[in-house]
Structure formats: C-alpha cells, structure tokens
Amino acid sequence: MRMSQLLLKTLRDDPSDTDSAGYALLVRAGYVRRLAAGVYTFLPLGLRVLQQVSGIVRTELDRAGMQEVLLPALSPIELWHASGRSARFGTDAMPALTVDGRGGTFVLGPTHEEVATVTVAQEVESYRQLPVTIYQIQTKFRDEARPRYGLVRTRELIMCDAYSFDADASAMAESYDRAVAAYRAIFERVGLEVTPVVAQSGAIGGEVNHEFMVPSPIGEDHFARCSSCGYSANTEAALRRAPAAQEAVMAEVVEVATPGAASMDEVLTALGHLDIPLSHMLKTIAVRTAEGAVAVISVPGDREVRLPHEWDLLSDEEVAAHPGLVKGSMGPQGMAAHGVRVVVDDAVVARPGPWVAGGNTEGVHVTGLHLGRDFFADETGSFVEVVTGDGCPTCGQPLELVRSVEAAHTFQLGLQYTSKMSGATYLDEAGVEQQLWMGCYGIGVSRLLGVLAEAHHDDQGLCWPEGIAPYDLHLVTLGANRNPAIAEAAEQLVADLEAAGFSVLYDDRDASPGVKFADADLLGIPRRLLVGGKGLERGIVELKDRRTGDERELELTHAAQLLGSS
C-alpha cells in the first residue's frame, strides 16, 4: 500500500476528548475516528489491525474445534421474555427498536445466548451430534451510560462470542476448559498478560465464570491476587481470610440522640467521640437475598460491603415500607422480631464489641453494642470488598489489588437458558429426551485494540507487536522525488518483499524526512526500512526495529531473503 493513496491523516496533537495515551495515539495515527460518544469508525489501518486480531481469534477457536456462524444482530424481544433476561436487564436499558408497522419489537443484541440456543436447538437432535460449539465475530450494542478510554468502553463494539452445547454437566466443564485454553492462547499471541479471575456473572448468569483481566493503567476494574498461592478473583467476588480473634471489651449499651446525622463522620460528631475509629462502627445495610428474604448486612465502618451474587440492595421505598428498618439509623439488633435475617462480616465475629451502630429509631444511635449479647448472627462470612493487605482466603498471605481491564469473560451456564427456551433438547442413547447443557464465552475484539494500544506504545507513538500490526514492514524513501533511481530501487524492493510474503506500507509521499520519520514512529509498524541516496550508492537498505530502536544494514538485492530468514 502506497501512503500517497492511503486514507490517512496523522495528527500532531492529542484529540480534545482523550482520556488515555493509547486512545490518543490511535486517533493521532489515523486508526480510528470518533463518530459519537462510544461509537467509532475504523479507518483502513485500524481495520487491518482489527482483522489481524480477528484472525488470531479465529485460528485458536477453530483449533479448539469450534465452528464459525453469523447470527442476526436483531432478535425478537419475545426470546428475551422467554429467557427472563428482559426483566433482568430492564426493558428501558435494552437496546431495542420497532422495525415494522405492526409494532414488532426487536433487540439489538448485546449478547446472543437466546439466539444461539434456538439456533442449535433447531439443528441438534441426537447425542451423536454433541458436543458442539459455535462462535461468531459480530457487532454488539450496549446501553453504556459512560463511554470512556476510546475503544475500551463503548456503546458499539466488535465481539467474538461463542456458545457450547453438551450432553451433561461433566461434558460442559470439558468444553469450558477447552475454551479457556483457547483464550489463553489468544492472549499469549497478541502479547497481553492476562489473569483469569473468579467473578460474578451479572446479567449473563451461570454458577462458574471467569473474567480475563489485563493489568492496565486505564482499567476500571480491580482484581485481588495472591502472589504466594495464585488465588485471584474480581473484587466483586474476592474473599479474604477472617481476621484474628480479639478479646471483647464489655461495655454498656447507651442510646445517643444523633438528629440529622447521615454519614458516619456526622454520627461521630453527634456522639462527641471523635476518637472512635471508623473500624469500631457498624455499617448496616438492608438487602434482599437470592432466595428473596430480607436481611441486613453489618460490616466495620471503614470497609465497603460486598454483596453476594444475586443479592440486591433494598430501595429507599422498600426500606421505608418495612416496619423493622430505619434508613440512616439501622443496626443489627432486634431484627429477629421483624423476620429480618442478620448477616455479619467475619471482622465483627473476630471483634464482638463494643460497637457503635444505628439504634433502629430515627435520629438515634447506640454505643457499647456486642455480638452474642445484644445481637445475633444468622450468617457470617467475608462480606467486605477486599483491600491490599487482606489475608488470602486460601493461604493467608497478603493480597494485592491490580488495576485492570476486563478483556474476556467465560461462563458455565448449565441449564439456565436451555431449560427455558423451547426445544433445547436432544435424545440420549436410550432415546430419552434430555436438556442441553450450555456454556458461553465472550472476548471483546475491538476492545483489545484499545488495550493493546495502551500496553504497546512509547513517547513517539504506537509499537505494535508482530502479527498485530497493520503491515509487516514500513518502507520509507528519502529524496525519491529528486532521484528516480531511489524510487526505482524502492519499487523493486516492495515487489521482492511482497513476493516473499511480507505486507508493506510504502511511504512514497513527497514529504520531508522529519515528517516521514515521525509518522513511521507514530504508526508503530514493527520494522522500518529506509532507502536513501547514500545507502543506494553502497547497495544497502537500513533496517530499524520500532520497539528497541536497533538499526542494521541489509544488502538491498537480498533484503527480502534476509528478512525472511531473520
């Protein structure tokens, strides 16, 4: 490709909406352009990188025995009603539109579990056809309220989503392991460090799932990691070892008026005990458990509550309507009389008291509260978000938090969708109808470009890894407009390189050396070749490694052969 013909305009300044170095370079180098918040156009160079990544994904998934399909982007909303996800997402939050005059409503797919299930159900009849895993690379749509970091958090993204169907739970787990191994191979090939971590499943569902986290300065997630035993989990799912037990210090329960005190600091001020640490105060919130029971969770006041999977906070209206709950003055005492379960964090068990807590009367708090005397726990465990230094739940060594981007997510869905979608069955060896067992696997292909750009750049521009860059080689000429021999030599070199299997971006523009060199660094193609007058006189071409800056000379007439053997 000649740069004089390439749809490309490089920029010397960062875009006004930049919030990360990688995104700024993708725009400056002419890989992408912003159409609207969270919506991007891939220009020719950006599309080539996207195709490179997609090719790696296809190769590894094909090698794992998966089959590529292309499912419709639109799906009838009735499928989402059948699976129950329209209620879980909330109809207002789902990307949907009416596409005919009779009022038919279709969903612009954020994921394709429902469509994949009905598609495979139509084709699979017998256990002899199992296992089967399908995948696609397709545009997805998300109602992203806060797009950020360019391609990392968008409203429209290109995603590879795969769906496995098996005869039973054991076979599903085997398909899951093959998919996880394929994902590891993908990340290794694109040059990204990745850690699969235990996570909560969110709107997708499933009991077993892992997020593939890439450490990154633009990450909006964190995961907890133990360097001693290898334990890792998303902060929404991470546990920590219970703190060591402390001897209780008995104190009398005293009620104190705290009118208008909403925050813990305001409560302390009202109490007049500013020397009481937040870690000696109980933070108590009202929730609904996965089984539908009303409960309160109490944790030390210096920690954030970690809600278990499928537990939800009660709304202010629900709290106000419940006779045992008082917003702003909630404590764990006396809850049994109102049928409310009491859940306490392990730290409260380790230090039974005394605690400062809400008095369950508006504008009242209590001091001197003790677990086992004044309130009792129906359930205990790790209910706080982990922080750096917490003990690993497996080995007890300190955990660290790692800022990261979620680049992929895998789920063992079991029967969650197939039991609800019509016809998602097969006949076993005895001729008995059985439900299909399902897994799903998603990797953000376009998101990977943003993550790669953030991970592979320097002060001069992008530094694409081999196999990801839009071209293998970047050929630059100097003085070709004044010396036809330089242009002739460059044309022959391009022909030789392409015949040897290399893709070449040829900078044939009538531009200054400074502009050409700056653009070469900005575009980030791994190797740059330079043909100039002095080198041509000696019969050599100069080769420079974009990442290391190392330079060496190659014999011009044998350059293609030498590069092919290096």
**What pLDDT is recorded for position 374?**
96
Find out whether 169 and 439 touch, Cβ atoms under 8 Å: no
**What pLDDT is recorded for position 207?**
72
Decide which of 394 and 422 is more confident: 394
Decide which of 16 and 550 is more confident: 550
Q: Identify the structural domains of the chain with CATH numbers, from first to last.
A: 21-73+109-238+401-453 (3.30.930.10), 254-381 (3.90.960.10), 473-565 (3.40.50.800)
For a pLDDT cut of 70, what percent of the chain falls above it? 96
User: Residue holding tokens 């309160």?
Assistant: 296
Q: What is the pLDDT of residues 333-342, one digit of tens each?
A: 999 999 999 9
Rounded to two decimals, the pTM is 0.85
**What pLDDT is recorded for position 105?**
84
**What pLDDT is recorded for position 265?**
84
- CA 399 vs CA 234, 350, 387, 440: distances in Å: 12, 19, 7, 30
**Mean per-residue pLDDT over the chain, rounded:** 92
Q: What is the pLDDT of residues 498-541, one digit of tens each?
A: 999 999 999 999 999 999 999 999 999 999 999 999 999 999 99
CA-based angle 311:316:322, to the nearest 5?
Answer: 80
**What pLDDT is recorded for position 84?**
86
Which strand ranges, in their side-by-side order, compose the sheet holding 105-108? 74-76, 105-108, 96-98
User: What is the average pLDDT across 540-562?
Assistant: 93
Q: Distance (Å, rounded) from C-alpha 314 to C-alpha 292?
A: 11
Q: Distance (Å, rounded) from C-alpha 446 to C-alpha 452?
A: 10
* Strand ranges for 185-239 from DSSP E: 195-198, 208-215, 221-225, 232-234
Instruction: Quickly count: other Cβ atoms within 10 Å of residue 459's Cβ.
Output: 6
**What pLDDT is recorded for position 274?**
67
Nearest Cα residue to 31 out of 468, 517, 497: 468
Quick one: DSSP state of residue 362? T
Flag whether pLDDT at 202 surpasses 90. Answer: no
Please provide the DSSP assignment of 503-561 as one string: -EEEE--S--HHHHHHHHHHHT-SEEEEE-HHHHHHTEEEEEETTT--EEEEEGGGHHH
Decide which of 273 and 129 is more confident: 129
User: What is the average pLDDT across 437-456?
Assistant: 95
For residue 109, count CB atoms less than 10 angstroms from its CB and return exposed for 0-12, middle for 13-18, buried for 19 or more.
buried
Amino acid at residue number 197: V
Q: Distance (Å, rounded) from C-alpha 303 to C-alpha 324?
A: 24
Q: Distance (Å, rounded) from C-alpha 449 to C-alpha 192?
A: 11
- CA 446 vs CA 42, 226, 252, 443, 455: distances in Å: 10, 30, 60, 9, 15
Minimum mean pLDDT among 198-212, 254-268, 380-394: which range? 198-212
User: What is the average pLDDT across 402-429?
Assistant: 94
Flag whether pLDDT at 432 surpasses 70. Answer: yes
User: What is the average pLDDT across 538-559?
Assistant: 94
